Amino acid sequence: MEDYTRTDYISGVYDEKLTFKDDEAYEIFNRLIIACQMHRRRFTYSSTDYMPNADNAYGYILKDIGGDGKDELILLSDTYAIIAVFTMQKGSPVLIFDSHYGGVSIGSGGEILVNIYYGAYHMEYRSYKINAKNELEPIDVAGHDRYPAQKADVFYILKDGRIGFVTEEEYLASAKRIVACESDVEYHEHTYFDGGFVPLFDRVK
């Protein structure tokens, strides 16, 4: 996990080790690798139960977050940082969300919550649900763009199914709804997942 790079793959380093059905399959793989690397442990584990490079800190949980009685597969770290969410469509697993571009958590009601920061000049909060078609559907979006040169701030939210510009007060109201869900996750995420973390890699014997 730690040694893999997209450049090495393009250069043919992994030609005898990795094959993909098509370009879309490779792009999904690459996005997941990037997401996993973002959540890589930065410090050595004190316990010998973990590999030195912490690859076995990645795992999954099966949980019905769509409310249809069927479990989604949630790829995550052992600190419950969400990496990706898969669901089943026509008998095959389908990636419906990954965290390669933002911090992701799952609320106690099954909401997928995303924070996106681009430096000090852009922040955006999003919440999604999995609809009856097993597709990702936005619930709330609240964004704030800063333009220091023009001394201007732009605020927008999801309203009546469309993104539109709003006042700062309307933006803060939407942002607070999403952050309130995240606060619930912060205190209850382990209980919500019932401690069902399954490592992807074997522990060190």
DSSP 61-123: EEE--SSSSSPEEEEEETT--EEEEEEEETTEEEEEEE-TTSEEEE-TTS-EEEEEEETTTEE
Strand order across the 58-63 sheet:
92-98, 82-89, 72-77, 58-63, 198-199
Segments in the chain below pLDDT 70 = 1-4, 6, 9, 38-57, 79, 100-102, 182-195, 201-205
pLDDT at 108: 76
Distance CA(83)–CA(8), nearest Å, equals 23
pLDDT at 205: 44
pLDDT at 168: 93
pLDDT at 141: 94
Question: CA triplet 69, 72, 78: central angle to 5 degrees?
Answer: 130
pTM passes above 0.95: no
